[in-house]
Amino acid sequence: MKALITGITGQDGFYLSKLLLERNYEVHGLIRRSSNINTNRIDPLISEYLPSGQLNLHYSDLTDSSSLTNLINKLLPDEVYNLAAQSHVAVSFKNPIYTTQTGTIGTVTILETIRNTEKNIKFYQASSSEMFGGVTGESLNEDSTFYPKSPYAAAKVFSHNVTKIYRESYDIFAVNGILFNHESPLRGETFVTRKISRAVGRIYQNIQKKVTLGNLDASRDWGFAGDYTYGMYKMLQHTKPDDWVLATGETHTVKEFADEAFKIVGLNWEDYVEYSEKHERPNEVHHLLGDPSKVKKELGWEPKTSFKDLVKMMVEEDIKLAEKEKVLIDNNLLKPSWEHSN
Ligand code: NAP
Ligand code: GDD
């Protein structure tokens, strides 16, 4: 089996490509050129699988339609997982056009290319619980109404709809995975869970004093990224394409996440967390809770990692990272800037 993954250098890109490589897939990943190395997350996979040719990386960009089309036509993969996006909701208000371009053009380009090949290429679209907007307290499923509240969410709604349209119009095996928030030690450091776990690790190692957050009352249905990427794979192995929600069915506030994370190192979060309005968004998604009953019934998928285990996994990894940073700081090889960034 041959898979093409856009967004292979992201959090989900790592867990998904690891899973596929371990199942003997030939994996092709799309990377974009940056002035700094951007393959850090997948470096362990590069050293293990690139030399044999089981893993391959190609320069492209979701906004560069011709390069995407050429790549798919050249590789003719069995499966395409479209994970790439400007995925930060707050940033999407600052860079709305780029977020929209990345979140829409690539999806329709890939679908159009698949439609024009002779091969039955299966397609996975990374849809998001952000599309629901968190306007009610109810548990959300595949039939719940979308109420996008950011340029990011609006672009995701477009891609979700166009995926469904290509499935219904051209009989393409095209699937939307509507994923609720999923985290890991590889989560981007400006998302709230990782920002907190990074801060806990550094505060514990005495190289940070405070962490500044925005809306502490927002609640999210947080799961583990490794469980969710297995769900993506399961969707493409099903007999027929459809849309499925992946969620834990539990929701926790940002405050609860901070409380749990600081408790792991015996500290009280209220002594270290400060509030700043600068982390508030122009339009907030206050509450997200997912209902994963359909995926459980039809695909047998269930999350394996509890909220407490997820927080523990992230904090423990970030304590180790901070320990290495402390050595560098003690030897004058690193100047901490984290309290001024994010
Ligand atoms: P992530 O860590 O932010 O990774 C995003 C990936 O997209 C990175 O590989 C990034 O490349 C790539 N990318 C960004 N803009 C691109 C462009 N113009 N062309 C090509 N590649 C581009 O995101 P994630 O958490 O793994 O999420 C994966 C997908 O699921 C995203 O589409 C996200 O919106 C969606 N999603 C995520 C969650 C969640 O809770 N994690 C929930 C629902 C849906 P660089 O490494 O070069 O920046
Ligand atoms: N990032 C961030 N930083 N968020 C904060 C902060 C802060 O300092 N303080 C409070 N929050 C709140 C946000 O306002 C939001 O309500 C919540 O914490 C979660 O924010 P993020 O971790 O940035 O994630 P998100 O829920 O906005 O988006 C993530 O999940 C979506 C799925 O629902 C991203 O991964 C999206 O790509 C994904 O689609």
What the block records as the tokens of 5 is 């993954």
pLDDT at 137: 87
What single DSSP character describes residue 218? -
pLDDT at 184: 98
User: If you compute the radius of gyration of the chain from its CA atoms, what whole number of angstroms results?
Assistant: 20
Q: What average pLDDT score do residues 239-262 get?
A: 98
CA–chain centroid gap for 318, Å, is: 19
pLDDT at 339: 73
Dump pLDDT digits (tens) for 112-146. Answer: 999 999 999 999 999 999 999 998 889 999 999 99
**Residue 88 binned pLDDT confidence (cut-offs 50, 70, 90):** very high
- Ligand 1 centroid–CA 159 distance in Å is 14
Of 210, 220, 284, the one to substitute when testing ligand 2's pocket (max ligand atoms within 8 A of C-beta) is 220
pLDDT at 136: 85
The kind and range of the H/E element at 124 are: strand 122-128
- Give exposure, 16-35, as e/b (b: 16+ Cβ within 10 Å): bbbbbbeeebbbbbbbeeee
- Ligand 2 centroid–CA 191 distance in Å is 6
Examine the pLDDT at 96 and tell me if it is beyond 90: yes
**Residue 51 binned pLDDT confidence (cut-offs 50, 70, 90):** very high
Dump pLDDT digits (tens) for 154-171. Answer: 999 999 999 999 999 999
Pairwise CA distance, residues 261 & 332, whole Å: 29
Q: Are 83 and 13 in contact (CB under 8 A)?
A: yes
Q: Within 13 Å and on the Cβ side, how many CA atoms surround 43?
A: 6
Examine the pLDDT at 216 and tell me if it is beyond 90: yes
The kind and range of the H/E element at 318 are: helix 307-330
Cβ–ligand 2 distance for 128 under 6 Å, the answer yes
Cβ–ligand 1 distance for 62 under 6 Å, the answer yes
> In this prediction, what percent of the chain has a pLDDT beyond 90?
96
pLDDT at 338: 82
Q: Are 57 and 29 in contact (CB under 8 A)?
A: yes
| Ligand 2: nearest atom to the Cα of 128 | 39
**Residue 241 binned pLDDT confidence (cut-offs 50, 70, 90):** very high
Secondary structure (3-state) at 174:
strand
Pairwise CA distance, residues 334 & 314, whole Å: 23
Q: What average pLDDT score do residues 238-260 get?
A: 98
Residue nearest to atom 4 of ligand 2 (CA): 192
Dump pLDDT digits (tens) for 173-214. Answer: 999 999 999 999 999 999 999 999 999 999 999 999 999 999
Dump pLDDT digits (tens) for 7-35. Answer: 999 999 999 999 999 999 999 999 999 99
**Residue 4 binned pLDDT confidence (cut-offs 50, 70, 90):** very high
- Ligand 2 centroid–CA 22 distance in Å is 31
Of 181, 251, 255, 272, the one to substitute when testing ligand 2's pocket (max ligand atoms within 8 A of C-beta) is 181
Examine the pLDDT at 342 and tell me if it is beyond 80: no
152 is catalytic: yes
Examine the pLDDT at 312 and tell me if it is beyond 70: yes
Which residue from 26, 24, 22 is spatially nearest to 5, judged by alpha carbons?
26
Q: What average pLDDT score do residues 84-89 get?
A: 98
Cβ–ligand 2 distance for 62 under 6 Å, the answer no
User: What count of residues does the chain have?
Assistant: 342
Integer distance in angstroms from the first to the last C-alpha of the chain?
40
Please, which residues have CB within 8 angstroms of residue 155's CB and are 6 or more apart in sequence?
Answer: 85, 92, 99, 100, 102, 103, 104
Ligand nearest to the CA of 228: 1
Q: What average pLDDT score do residues 285-298 get?
A: 98
pLDDT at 341: 66
Examine the pLDDT at 110 and tell me if it is beyond 70: yes
- Ligand 2 centroid–CA 173 distance in Å is 31
Pairwise CA distance, residues 39 & 8, whole Å: 9
Cβ–ligand 1 distance for 128 under 6 Å, the answer yes
Q: Are 286 and 218 in contact (CB under 8 A)?
A: yes
Pairwise CA distance, residues 151 & 190, whole Å: 18
Q: Tell me the domains of the chain and their CATH numbers.
A: 2-183+221-246 (3.40.50.720)
